Amino acid sequence: MADLPAPARLDRTTAAALDTSIPDANLSQAQLSRRRLLRSAGVIGRVAGGAAVPFEPVVVSGPGRNRPLRDSAVRHWLAGDHHVHTVFSPDGVHTVLDQARHAHDNGLGWMVVTDHGGPTHVRIGAELTAPEVRTARRALPELLVFQGLEWQIPAAEHGTVIVTPGPGDVDLLTEFERDFDANVTGSTAWTRANEALAVAGVRWLGAQVDAGRIHDALFLANHPSRQGLDTPHELRNWRDADPRVAIGFEGAPGHQAAGITAPDGPGESRGYYGRDRGTDPNQYQAYPQESYRTWGGFDWMTATVGGLWDSLLAEGKPWSITANSDSHDIYLHPARRREALTKADFDRDGRYPPPEYRAGLNTKAGDYWPGHYSRTHVGSGTRSYRGVARGLRDGRVWVDHGHLVAHLDVRVRRAGAPPGRGVTIGGTLAPPRGSRVEVTVRATLQDRANGAGFVPSLNRVDLIRGAVRGGPAAERDRFTAPDTRVIRSWDTSGSRGTLTLVHAVDDVDEPFYVRLRGTDGNIGQPGLLGPSIDPSGPRMDPAGAADPWLDLWLYSNPIWVVPS
Amino acid sequence: MIIGVDAGITSYTEADALAGSLPARLSSAGDLAGIHTATHTVQVGDPRFVVTAFWPPGAHPAGDAVWTAVLAAVPGAGIVLTAPQEQDARTSGPDLAVLGAWVAATRIARGLSGRVVTWPGAAELTGRMPLAEALERGGLDGVEVIGGDPAGPDETFDPLGFVRPRWRADGCVLQVQRGDDGVLVPFEPEHLPR
C-alpha cells in the first residue's frame, strides 16, 4: 500500500515485516517486532473503515420510510437482474429495449441497466441512456427498468449502483460517477486513498437519500472473486459505511455460457472466472487459487459453505446475494456489433448503433439474455421500483439458475404456529430462549421447460446453519466461518407439485441463521472446507468444460433466529 | 544466489516478458546453468510486479559477474543480490524499489511464493504426456490439483503451450486443474479472460 516512508535500514527483516502476504505466525521474533513497529507507525495496515460493532441483533434499521417490510405485507416475488449492459457500454451490443424485451419474455419483473462507468459514459452516455430507458418502460409496462450504473469501484472490482427513478435520478448517478468511478477518477490501483474513495462513495449515496434527493439507492459488488480484488476488509468497510446502501454481492456472476466446450461454445472459464494468483499486483494475496474459479456457477465467496459470505453473516449483519446475466453479447445469437466500429466511434458518440444481423451463430459469446438462465427473486409489497429496492435491502432474496424451481418459500416459525406464519427470507425471528422453532421449506417444483427446453428437477435440498458471533474489530479480513455447516440434506428426487420440508430446532439458546441451497444433483464434490462442513457441495467448474444447464443450483438468503 | 529486480512494472505481460528475457540479458555473466526466474506481486508501496532470478543451492555463476550484468541489463531498477542464508545484500537503485526487490528475494529465499517463468526443463513440456513423465522431464518437484482430488502419475497432462509453476518450500510445483475429459491442464491459462 502507498504512503510508505523509506525505512532506516533495508534488510531482509524489514522486507519480511513489510510483506503482508506473510502471516504474523510465519515471521521470526525479530521480523514480528519490526512489523509491530511498522504497524504502529502506520507504515503498514489497512483503512480502518467503520468501527466494528461487537454484536448487534440483525435487523436492518433504516430511516423510517425504509423500515423492513412486515412479512405479511409481501405480496409479490419478482424475478430480476441487476447487471445488464447495452450499446452504452464500450463492450456492449444490444439496445436497452432489446435487453428489456428479453427480460420480460423470460419472466423477469425488474432489471437494472448497468453500463460501465467511464469517461465517455459520464460525459454523454448516461444522459443518452435515459430516453431509451423511458421508451422501454412505456413499451413494457409490466417490467420495472431501473437506470443504474456499473461502478468501477476504486481499488476494487465492479459493482451495481441502483437508484429508484425520480426527478434528477440521472443527474445524481452522473455526479456519483464523476466523483467516485475509478475509470473517471483514475483510482483503480489498490491504495489506501482509493479504498477510502470507495467508502466515501457509499456514504455519499446514503447522504443523497437522507437529503431527499432520491428515494432509495443501493450498491452490490459484482463478480467479487473474479480478479481477487475485493478484499474481505473492503467488503466490510463498504457495508459498514452505510448498510442501507451497500447490501450485498453477486452470489453468482453472469457470463454463464462462457464455459461451454469449444467449438460449440467459448471454451473459456464459466463466468470468465479464469484468472490466477500472481497475475495482478492489486490482488488480495491471501485469497487461495480456488477463489479464482466458479463453483457450480457460483462465486467462491458464496459457494464455499463456511466461507467468506458466511463469515459476514456470522457477524450478525445482513449481506445479500444475487444472480445476474452480466449480459453483453449473447451466446448463439446472430446479431453482433457492426464490424467496422471502433472504440473511437463509441467515445465520440457515447454509444454504438444497434447491432446488425450476421450469418452464423455466435459461439464465442458467453452471455445469456436477462432471465434466460440467472434469476434474482425479490419479495416485495408492491410491484414498484421502491418495493423492489426495499425487498433487496431487506434481504428478501433467493436466486436460481436454469429456472430450477418455480417458487420457493422458506420460513422460520415457533413450533405450533400455523403454516404460512413465521418470518421469511431476510427476516429475524426472536423467540423466547429455550423454545422450539421450525424451518419450513415449500418449493413449487418446476413444471415448465426452461431456456434450454427441458423441465429441471430439484433433486436435493440442503439446509445450512451458522452461529452468529459478532465481528471482532481485528478480523476485518476474515473469510471463514468455522461454525457454519450443512446440517441437513433431503433427497427430493422424483417429487412433483409442491414440496414441503420441515426441520425442527429444539431449545434455541444462541443466535444463528439458516439458509437454503438446492441442486439438480448432477455434479458435486465435498466442500472446500471438508465433508464434515459440506458433504456434497458444488464442483470447481473445469476450464472449457462447464455446461451450465447440467449443473443447476439455487441459494436463499439467510433467516435469522435471535432468542431473547 | 538470488537477484531481485524491481523496475516498477504494473503490467502482467511486461513482468512475464522481463522474467522470460532475464537469462538472455544476463548471458555476459557466463554459464547460467540452473537459472530460474519468477514474477512476484508486491504491495509494499504501490502494487507492482517484481522479478527474481535465482539458483537453487549448488552451482551458480560468480556474484561479481552477475552483479555487473544485471546492473547493465535493467538500468535504474531497484536491484538486490543476496543468498538464502544471508541477511544482507548488494543493493542498487531507489530505496522503495530496493525494498520491493528485497521482498521478492525474501520470498524465494524462504520458499514462500513466486510465479516461475524460466526453469531447467521448461522446454520439455510440449504435448500431452502422463503426469509422471511431465514431472520427470520438466524438472518439477510436485503437482497440486486445484479444486479437485490429487492426481495419479498415469493421468494425462496437457501443458497447452504455457506453464508457470509456483515456487514453494517444496520446490517448483505445477498447479493444475481438470479440464475437458478430465485431462490435467495448467491452472493458469496463457490468455487471461478480459
The confidence band for A283, taking pLDDT boundaries of 50, 70 and 90, is: very high
Task: Give the pLDDT confidence score for residue A40 in this predicted structure.
Answer: 61
For residue A57, pLDDT beyond 80 = no
Is there a contact between A545 and B115 if contact means CB atoms under 8 Å apart? no
For residue A77, pLDDT beyond 80 = yes
Segment B125-133 mean pLDDT: 96
Is there a contact between A295 and B179 if contact means CB atoms under 8 Å apart? no
Task: Give the pLDDT confidence score for residue A225 in this predicted structure.
Answer: 98
CB contact B178 to A (< 8 Å) = yes
For residue A63, pLDDT beyond 60 = no
Cα–Cα dist A177/A188, whole Å: 14
Q: What is the ipTM of this complex?
A: 0.92
Task: Give the pLDDT confidence score for residue A41 in this predicted structure.
Answer: 56
Task: Give the pLDDT confidence score for residue A6 in this predicted structure.
Answer: 43
| d(CA A211, nearest CA chain B) in Å | 37
Mean pLDDT lowest among A398-407, B18-27, B41-50? B41-50
Contacts of A12 in chain B (CB under 8 A): 82, 86-89, 102, 105-106, 109
Cα–Cα dist A107/A407, whole Å: 13
Q: How far is CA B21 from the centre of its chain?
A: 12
For residue A534, pLDDT beyond 60 = yes
Across B151-173, b (16+ Cβ under 10 Å) vs e yields beeebebbbeeebbbbbbeebbb
Long-range CB pairs of A332-337 (<8 Å, 24+ gap) are A332/A361, A332/A362, A332/A363, A332/A365, A333/A361, A333/A362, A333/A365, A334/A358, A334/A359, A334/A360, A334/A361, A334/A362, A335/A93, A335/A94, A336/A93, A336/A362, A337/A93
Cα–Cα dist A5/B113, whole Å: 25
Cell 469517461, located at residue: A119
**pLDDT, tens digit (0-9, with 9 covering 90-100), for B105-117:** 999 999 999 999 9
C-alpha torsion A307→A308→A310→A314, nearest 10: 120
Q: Where are the alpha helices (DSSP H) in B74-137?
A: 95-109, 131-137
For residue A61, pLDDT beyond 80 = no
Which residue from A400, A406, A409, A498 is spatially nearest to A455, judged by alpha carbons? A406
The confidence band for B181, taking pLDDT boundaries of 50, 70 and 90, is: confident
**pLDDT, tens digit (0-9, with 9 covering 90-100), for A458-513:** 999 999 999 998 767 668 999 999 999 999 999 999 999 999 999 999 999 999 99
Which phi and psi angles does A144 have, rounded to 5°?
-85, 120
Q: What percentage of chain A has pLDDT greater than the value 90?
A: 82
Disruptive mutation site among B99, B167, B178 for chain A (greatest number of A CBs within 10 Å): B99
Is there a contact between A190 and B99 if contact means CB atoms under 8 Å apart? no
Task: Give the pLDDT confidence score for residue A160 in this predicted structure.
Answer: 98
For residue A47, pLDDT beyond 50 = no
| d(CA B30, nearest CA chain A) in Å | 28
**pLDDT, tens digit (0-9, with 9 covering 90-100), for A171-224:** 999 999 999 999 999 999 888 899 999 999 999 999 999 999 999 999 999 999
| d(CA B167, nearest CA chain A) in Å | 12
Greatest mean pLDDT range, A55-59, A138-142, B55-59: A138-142
Tell me the pLDDT of chain A averaged across its residues.
91
Q: What percentage of chain A has pLDDT greater than the value 70?
A: 92
Nearest to B12 among A4, A280, A539 (CB): A280
For residue A60, pLDDT beyond 90 = no
The confidence band for B84, taking pLDDT boundaries of 50, 70 and 90, is: confident
Task: Give the pLDDT confidence score for residue A480 in this predicted structure.
Answer: 96
Is there a contact between A542 and B177 if contact means CB atoms under 8 Å apart? yes
Task: Give the pLDDT confidence score for residue B156 in this predicted structure.
Answer: 97
Contacts of A38 in chain B (CB under 8 A): none
Task: Give the pLDDT confidence score for residue A51 in this predicted structure.
Answer: 38
Task: Give the pLDDT confidence score for residue A162 in this predicted structure.
Answer: 98
Supply A172's cell numbers.
445524481
Cα–Cα dist A440/A490, whole Å: 13
Supply B39's cell numbers.
514474477
**pLDDT, tens digit (0-9, with 9 covering 90-100), for A2-40:** 334 444 456 777 777 877 777 787 788 888 887 877 766
Segment A260-280 mean pLDDT: 95
Task: Give the pLDDT confidence score for residue A369 in this predicted structure.
Answer: 98
For B82, name the nearest residue in chain A, comparing CA atoms only: A12
Cα–Cα dist A245/A208, whole Å: 11
Indicate the DSSP class of residue B27: G
| d(CA A212, nearest CA chain B) in Å | 39
Supply A469's cell numbers.
458471533
The confidence band for A42, taking pLDDT boundaries of 50, 70 and 90, is: low
Give me the residues of B, 6-45, that contact A with CB < 8 A: 10, 12, 39-45
Give me the residues of B, 50-79, that contact A with CB < 8 A: none
Contacts of B109 in chain A (CB under 8 A): 12
Chain A to chain B Cβ contacts (< 8 Å): 140
Domain ranges of chain B: 2-118, 122-186
Supply A166's cell numbers.
425520480
The confidence band for A65, taking pLDDT boundaries of 50, 70 and 90, is: very low
For residue A561, pLDDT beyond 70 = yes
| d(CA B112, nearest CA chain A) in Å | 8
Task: Give the pLDDT confidence score for residue A10 in this predicted structure.
Answer: 61
Nearest to B103 among A15, A261, A542 (CB): A15
